[in-house]
Every structure is written in C-alpha cells, then in structure tokens.
Amino acid sequence: MKKVAFYTLGCKVNQYETDSMKAIFTKNSFIVVDFNENADIYVINTCTVTAMGDKKSRQTINNAKKNNPNAIVVVTGCMAQDSKGKIEGADIIIGNNDRKNIVNIINKYNGEKLVEIDDIKNDRMFWSVEDNVPEDRTRAYIKIQDGCDRYCSYCIIPYVRGPVRSRKLEDIIMEVNEKVQNGFKEIVLIGIHLASYGKDLKNITLIDVLEKLDKIEGLQRIRLGSLEPLFINEENIERLKKMDKVCKHFHLSLQSGCTETLKRMNRRYTAEEYEERVNMIRKAFPYASITTDIIVGFPGETEEEFLKTYEYLKRIKLNRMHVFPYSIRKGTLAEKMPMQIEKNIKNERAKSLIELSLKNEIEFANKFINKEVDVLLEKGKKGKYRQGYTREYVKVLFEGGKAGEQFIGIGKNVTDEGELVVEKS
C-alpha cells in the first residue's frame, strides 16, 4: 500500500480539509504516515493569507523533496489556488475546489507536471467528506461554511476561496452526532466567514444552526470560530441566552480601533458600532470572553490613528488579541494604497498591543479566582500541570487529570501568562 503524508498551513478550515483529504486517501487504501517519514506522496495544504504563509509553504515543499526526492509532491490550498500553476518543486498543483478529486488526479500523473485549478469564483457547491477523523481528540472542528464576499481591502481570501457556500443543516447535524458518539465533548463551528452562513440558502442563518445543535443529547460545548461583529445584535443575544451549550466566548474580529482605518480596510462597521456590540454581550453575559484580531501598520495608519486604536483597546479591554503587522498581498486593493508603513514601525506597534493583550488576559482570568469554572482538559502538558480551557476560553492548568476529562473546578491563582490554576470543586 502506498504511503501518503500531509502538512497543513494556515487556518482551522484548512486543517479540517486536510482531515477530509486523509479520509479520501484512507478509503482508497493509502496509509497515512507522518510528514517526516519516507512517503510516496506528500500533500501540502497551503495558506496565502500573509507573505509569511507563502514563505512557509515554499519551505515545506522543499522539505518534502528532501524527505524523499522520488516522491510525488502535491501542493493544494489557497497558495495553489492563487498560483496560476507556477510553484517551484510541485509535481501536481490542485486548486481549492478540486481537492475532492485528489486521488483521481494523482492517478492521472505520468511524471509530467499536472495542474488542476478551477476558477473558484463560479463555485456554488459546499465540499464535505464523511468519516472526517480529526487529529485532536478533545474538540472537533466542524466546517459549515466556505468562501467570502466581503472583500476587505487587505484580504486575498475572497479571490482564493470564492463566494459564500453553506453546508446543509442535516449534514451538519449528522456530523455533530457522529462526533458526540465518538466521545467528543466540544465542537467548534468554523468557516471562512461564519456569519455569512445561510446567505446562499433560503430561510436559515447561523443562529438557527446553533439552536438545532444546542438540542443534541450528549454534546457538552458548542464553540464558535471567528465572527463578524455584526452577528451580535439584540435578537441573536436573546436567542443565545436560551442556549446552554453555546460557550460564551466570542472571537469578534475587529482589525482596528480607529474608524478612519476601518474605512480604508473596507470593514463594515465603525469602532463605535463594534463597542456597542461588546457592551451588548457584556450586559447579557457578564463573564463572557471577547477575543479579537488586530492588524497594525495598515497603509495610511498615522501615529495619531494608531494611538486612537491603542486608547480604544485600553478602554474596551478585550481579553485576548491576536496582533498581526500588516502584510501586503498582491492583487488586493491595499497593495496599491499610498503610505505603506515601515517594518520597524509595524513591529513596534504590534509589540505594544501584544503587551496590552497579556495585561487584559491576566485581568480577565483573575475574575475567576474562587469562582467555579467548567474545565475541559487537553493533551497539552506544562510541567506537572495538564492544560485545558474553560467555557470562556480561559487557559487553565490542573495538576493531574487526562485529556478529554471534564469537571467543575475552582480558580486558585493566575500565572504571568494569564493561565488560571484550578483545583476540583
């Protein structure tokens, strides 16, 4: 039997799609081996969201060739979709829409470079595979949506992922039931633009899906992937109040705390509107956690604009911020914008926000001292402690226990990295 190895870069959706491709190969009598082992085929599922994503993808292609110079190197994912068939070191290049046919395409390979990249903007089908077996055994990521039609001015994703496509509700319910039967306590709903779920279907939205999943027996936790802030409104808050299983952790992607910058980013909200949504959540769920993504050094971001963002974030205190120095992407509107910011200034701004994020994270975790928390332990360990997360996505440390174990704990103290040390209640 032939051996195939995988390497995944980028987001959770890409990881989910790698697990789907593994299921296809396994069904076709391939053995899935570790990427560092000698394999007959190496599949690299690439990312192109930043220049670093491209760089790491190319490095991984070279590593595959080093692992076995005679192997077939298959490059797929977003960098492949954007490549126009030109990637050094790749024997086969497969676009995002063609991954479902990956084994058939490889069977056609005769040593001549093979390129299968459809024009994704015409794609209307949602691709999913049964028996998708995730690597992580504690929480299962469930892809329910693909594509995006927002065209934020810095983002290449709509060009490589195509229009919004939503998965049929019955398929989602079937996969979640299957995961619960396989012992998963937590599922995470993911997509490229989750809040757009249902836009291409009639009479269904993301909140409808949550209500259906909230009724599934045996499921403990439903977590949401990255969300568009405008998903938070009075009606959705009222409906979320009635859902016990939905974790009150909202990753609301902000990108900047300055409305002028947001306008140039073509984001669909102002800093004030975002803050309103944050306050709506905190009024309904006082212990809710709100995390976010921030881009610093966006073209035209003056010192004054950055200070607006900094002061704004100091005031609204989001409890974890993923901070990214702006990365120019060929083919996006922002690529052509004047006043591109120097690298050292971007890094300085990123550093100050990362420090602020840690301060906020420690402050938020302290809210759970002497308070009961629902803990789900994971396979990660740190010294004598096992790691895990609360429903609010606070990182916890617990002495003992095993991965997948769930219990009610009490917060004891908080480390300098914002981890909550817990004991069983």
Binding residues for ligand SF4, rule: CB under 6 A, are 148, 150-152, 155, 157-158, 192-193
Nearer of residues 179 and 193 to ligand SF4, judged by Cβ: 193
Q: Which two three-digit tokens encode residue 351?
A: 């550093």
Of the candidates 183, 210, 245, the one whose C-alpha atom is nearest the C-alpha of residue 374 is 245
Nearer of residues 71 and 157 to ligand SF4, judged by Cβ: 157
| Least Å from the CB of residue 228 to ligand SF4 | 7
Nearer of residues 152 and 213 to ligand SF4, judged by Cβ: 152
Nearer of residues 319 and 332 to ligand SF4, judged by Cβ: 332
Cβ-count burial of 180 within 10 angstroms (0-12 exposed, 13-18 middle, 19+ buried)? Answer: middle
Cα(360)–Cα(370) distance, integer angstroms: 19
| Least Å from the CB of residue 412 to ligand SF4 | 38
| Least Å from the CB of residue 184 to ligand SF4 | 27
Nearer of residues 151 and 372 to ligand SF4, judged by Cβ: 151
Cα separation values, 321 from 129, 255, 294, 310, 389, Å: 33, 10, 7, 12, 17
Nearer of residues 60 and 255 to ligand SF4, judged by Cβ: 255
Tell me 255's DSSP state. B
| Least Å from the CB of residue 193 to ligand SF4 | 5
| Least Å from the CB of residue 95 to ligand SF4 | 18
| Least Å from the CB of residue 245 to ligand SF4 | 26
> What's the maximum distance between 2 C-alpha atoms anywhere in the chain?
65
Cα(40)–Cα(6) distance, integer angstroms: 11
Cα(25)–Cα(36) distance, integer angstroms: 18
DSSP sequence for 157-210: HHHHH-S-EE--HHHHHHHHHHHHHTT--EEEEE-SSGGGTTTTSSS--HHHHH
